[in-house]
Homo-oligomer: A and B are copies of this chain.
Amino acid sequence: MFISFSAMAGGESQMKELEALVSSIRPIEGELIKKTQERLDRKTKPMRSLGRLEDLACRYCAARATLEPTLPKKALVVMAADHGVASEGVSAYPQEVTRQMLLNFAHGGAAINALARQVSAELVVVDMGVVEALPASAGVRACRIGAGTQNMTRGPAMSVPQAKQAILAGAGIARELADGGFSLMGIGEMGIANTTAASALLVAYTGVPITEATGRGTGIDDAILARKVQVIERAIAVNRPDRAKPLEVLAKLGGFEIAGLAGVILSAAAGRVPVIIDGFISGAAALAAIKIAPAARDYLVASHRSAENGHGLLLEALELQPLFDLNLRLGEGSGAALAMNFVDAAIRILAEMATFESAGVSDKTASK
């Protein structure tokens, strides 16, 4: 299930870099999970009574390869790009909203800004390729692969070299963050029509029916939803994605921000940094990432189950159980930011609680 190099038409060095990245990802060690659980079991609480918070602590420690974690230094990477398929009329919003929202992120006025502030996460906003570039003064990091993808109903959304370039751009950002001491990342996205791309990827990677993989995105009505399903049908018929070639699937049906986020995941995993996925689109990026490098799955945390139709199937394909379901359907990394509170809580439990011995508390009765 690793990269199908036959499909890679790009430069030799790009290919080597991606190959090296994928092969540098190591599965997490079960022994570290076990040892962290043993430490939790000595804390003054009934065994396993903090449920999935304990699992989070174990997974975080195993990912970080430490038994003495400190509170994570957190970054949220939010990538935006435009989608050629938007011209098919699959969204409730006009395409210029992608760029407008990027500026809103830069100015601090979006939901993700408020939520990133709450968890003290560094917010990294990346232009992976909106139609019209932003001025350098906007404070948005430019990693533009192009002025939006092509319309996937007429051919591939991007070329394989573009997909590789986007992955490596995301990987570079994650590497910088890991080198800067960030120990927990969250991912989010913005891109008018990108639920269409995400649904198409889910269908191509898993074979689920298009209608079950397709939802209302930002809030489309029945007529647009029917059109969206037809658009995905055409995109699949035209591109004939082969799931044995995961990178090619990503190129044909994905988006620059989706490929970029897949790169963030691969590089974070290589650097032993857990990544919190947000909703449907960042989930599709995660699916692409684990199809390219299955070991990356060990570093993923699913934040929430969104209101988007198809997200349940996507989480099943990722084999991840979300932490909460608040009927969110915003994207931007909003759910990932909220989930960071749970990771902080899990690490505090591990780092700050007394043990039965240190607190002089009796453990279970022996009378059982």
Contact = CB atoms under 8 A, between A and B. Distances in A.
Interface size class for chain A? Answer: 35 or more
A51 interface: yes
Given A107-B359, A361-B97, A362-B93, A114 B352 contact: yes
A338 B218 CA distance: 28
14 contacts: A47-B219, A50-B334, A93-B363, A97-B361, A104-B359, A104-B361, A110-B353, A110-B354, A113-B352, A114-B352, A118-B348, A224-B368, A323-B326, A338-B345
B44 A110 contact: yes
A209 interface: no
Contact of A348 (B48, B49, B115, B224): B115
A104 B354 contact: yes
Given A104-B359, A361-B100, A326 B92 contact: no
A364 B113 CA distance: 22
* Most B C-beta atoms less than 10 A away, residue of A53, A93, A338: A53
A46 B352 contact: no
A360 B100 CA distance: 7
A-B pairs, 8 with minimum CB distance? A109-B354, A51-B327, A341-B341, A46-B218, A324-B324, A114-B348, A114-B352, A49-B330
Interface in A93-121: 93-94, 96-97, 100-101, 103-104, 107, 109-111, 113-115, 117-118
Given A51-B326, A114-B353, A115-B348, 7 more contacts: A44-B109, A47-B219, A52-B326, A94-B362, A94-B365, A100-B359, A118-B345
A349 B362 CA distance: 44
A328 interface: yes
Contacts of A358: 109
A307 interface: yes
* Most B C-beta atoms less than 10 A away, residue of A103, A113, A352: A352
Nearest to A223: B368
* Most B C-beta atoms less than 10 A away, residue of A110, A337, A351: A110
B49 A219 contact: yes
A357 to B, nearest CB: 11
A17 interface: no
A52 B111 contact: no
A221 interface: yes
Contacts of A353: 109-111, 113-114
A59 interface: no
A243 interface: no
A82 interface: no
A92 B324 contact: no
Contacts of A101: 44, 361
A344 to B, nearest CB: 6
A49 B328 contact: yes
Nearest to A109: B354
A182 interface: no
A126 to B, nearest CB: 19
A73 interface: no
A92 B46 contact: yes
A26 interface: no
Given A44-B101, A44-B110, A109-B354, A50 B348 contact: no
A234 interface: no
A358 B93 CA distance: 18
